[in-house]
Amino acid sequence: MALFSDLLNLLFPPVCTVCKKRLIRGEKYICLSCLSDLPETDFHLLKDNKIEELFAGRFNFCRIASFAYFVKGGSVQTLIHELKYNNNPDLGCYLGELCGSKLQGSTFLNDIDYLVPVPLHPNRMKLRGYNQAEKIAEGIATQTGISVCSGNLKRVVDNTSQTKQSKFDRIVNTEGIFEAENPHLFSGKHLLLIDDVLTTGATSESCVKALIEANEDIKVSIYTFGVVLG
């Protein structure tokens, strides 16, 4: 098997998702140079960080953090585009492992009971074949030991893409599109909502409201791989 793998790599050498240079032994998806250059935020270490200040008073949450800054044309945008549109679910697990390694042992994970990926509508799930947020959650789970709970929070409206929408339109576009199928499953739990990127927060807000409206005895924190600020 190792010989076959080496032959495959010789014929079709794996390249870095970001810079497209050939990966060397020990590198996976991202070369060490691009990995070290990822614009990490360390917001999980900072209570009342920039994201939390931005969303304070808008909806109920305990903590919010993201692994790295999303900058147009930057490495994080490249990684998320590859994950979402180029049929690369394993990359999502790897990005989740990066997140999980960073979060492991931090107070950000205090009393978290479940990792809950932001769900896709069944129509979009059928087209893509996987939920990128769930793949990130699975990667985080391997590093932290916290269980992933998917399927209870559901997307019940197949809303249009938000990529080019304004902040106001995104908020309107996400109103009432999620619901908790079995609210009692999350009763008394602290959930960590997982997504690929945080932009206006409209999707996260809609998820949190759906969860808390279904059962007030729920606490929710949010973690994403990327965040758009400024």
Residue entry with tokens 């070290």: 36
Predicted pLDDT at 1: 52
- 13 — pLDDT class (breaks 50, 70, 90): confident
Sorted by where each starts, the structural domains of the chain and their CATH numbers stand as: 1-37 (no CATH), 39-227 (3.40.50)
Residue 69: beta bridge partners? 227
pLDDT digits (tens, 9 = 90+) for 62-98: 999 999 999 999 999 999 999 999 999 999 999 999 9
The whole-number average pLDDT for the span 8-20 is 82
What tokens were used for 174? Answer: 């996400």
Q: Which amino acid is at 29?
A: Y
- For the entire predicted model, the pTM comes to 0.90
pLDDT digits (tens, 9 = 90+) for 178-195: 999 998 999 999 999 999
Shortest CA distance to 67 belongs to which of 28, 111, 30, 100? 100
Residue 15, CB-side half-sphere exposure with 13 Å CA sphere = 8
Q: Count H helices and E strands in the chain, helices first.
A: 9, 7
pLDDT digits (tens, 9 = 90+) for 88-108: 999 999 999 999 999 999 999
pLDDT at residue 219 is higher than 90: yes
